[in-house]
């Protein structure tokens, strides 16, 4: 006997049995006897008991869990007016395209040095660092600039040959700097702004 036949045969008997249990208030009626009566039923002996997941149906069964209906994520639609402006991108220089008063070679001839290592410039002068070899940066030492100075260097990573970085110094005093990856082997520099 297959599941569908079993369900068709057993469901009416189950429903009749449940209907008999749900009526009345539990008090005996006149003429009722306390003797049980036996009713013969057809019961398969080796068929598994079906569960709700065993029976297949052709129509969807409602579930207890709720599915959110508003699952749309907002999307950005770009238009012709959504173009970046010059203020969206920070620049590494304090002023636009300064003319250098001093040029410093970074890693000339593959060496781990700044050349010149020390120098003096005037207030308002611009220093241009030019990378002659890769894997270097320019990073101010901790406490390596006078009070009021805001020089951050070009230490957003390391750069390859041909990279340049310029900065105009407006605060007088002593400055010291280094290359982060090569500081421990002596790639350091310093200068004075008078």
Distance set, CA 190 to CA 101, 116, 173 (Å): 16, 9, 11
Cα 171 from chain centroid (whole Å): 40
In the chain, which residues have pLDDT < 50?
Answer: 24, 26-33, 35, 54-55, 57, 79-91, 93-95
Structure tokens at 113: 């040095």
Domain ranges of the chain: 102-193
Residue 3: predicted pLDDT: 67
Is position 179 annotated in a ligand binding site? yes
Is position 11 annotated in a ligand binding site? no
Residue 55: predicted pLDDT: 47
Structure tokens at 85: 């402006």
Residue 32: predicted pLDDT: 46
CA quadruple 119, 123, 125, 128: dihedral, nearest 10: 50
> CA-CA distance, 49 to 34, in Å (whole number)?
32
137-144's contacts with Cβ under 8 Å and 24+ in sequence apart are 137/179, 137/180, 137/181, 138/106, 138/165, 138/177, 138/179, 139/177, 139/178, 139/179, 139/180, 140/175, 140/176, 140/177, 141/176, 141/177, 141/178, 141/188, 144/175, 144/176, 144/177, 144/190
CA angle 69-74-80, nearest 5°? 150
Is position 182 annotated in a ligand binding site? yes
Is position 1 annotated in a ligand binding site? no
Residue 155: predicted pLDDT: 72
Rg of the chain on CA atoms, in Å: 44
Q: Return the SS3 of 15.
A: helix
Residue 31: predicted pLDDT: 47
Residue 2: predicted pLDDT: 72
One of 2.60.40.10, 1.10.101.10, 2.40.128.130, 2.60.40.420 is the CATH number of 102-193, namely 2.60.40.420
Q: What is the pLDDT of residues 172-184, one digit of tens each?
A: 999 999 999 999 9
Residue 92 and residue 154 in contact, taking contact as beta carbons nearer than 8 Å: yes
């Amino acid at each position: 006997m297959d599941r569908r036949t079993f369900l068709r045969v057993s469901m009416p008997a189950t429903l009749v049995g449940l209907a008999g249990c749900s009526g009345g208030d539990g008090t005996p009626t006149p003429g009722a006897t306390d003797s049980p009566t036996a009713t013969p039923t057809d019961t398969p002996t080796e068929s598994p008991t079906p569960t709700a997941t065993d029976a297949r149906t052709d129509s969807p069964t409602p579930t207890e869990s709720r599915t959110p209906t508003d699952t749309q994520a907002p999307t950005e639609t770009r238009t012709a007016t959504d173009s970046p402006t010059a203020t969206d991108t920070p620049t590494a220089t304090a002023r636009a395209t300064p003319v250098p008063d001093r040029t410093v070679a970074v890693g000339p001839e593959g060496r781990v040095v700044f050349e010149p290592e020390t120098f003096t410039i005037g207030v308002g002068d611009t220093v241009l660092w030019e990378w002659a070899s890769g894997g270097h940066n320019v990073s101010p030492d901790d406490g390596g600039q006078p009070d009021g100075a805001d020089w951050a260097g070009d230490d957003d990573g390391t750069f390859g040959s041909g990279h340049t970085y310029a900065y105009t110094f407006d605060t007088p005093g002593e400055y010291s700097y280094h290359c982060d990856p090569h500081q421990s082997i002596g790639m350091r520099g310093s200068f004075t702004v008078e």
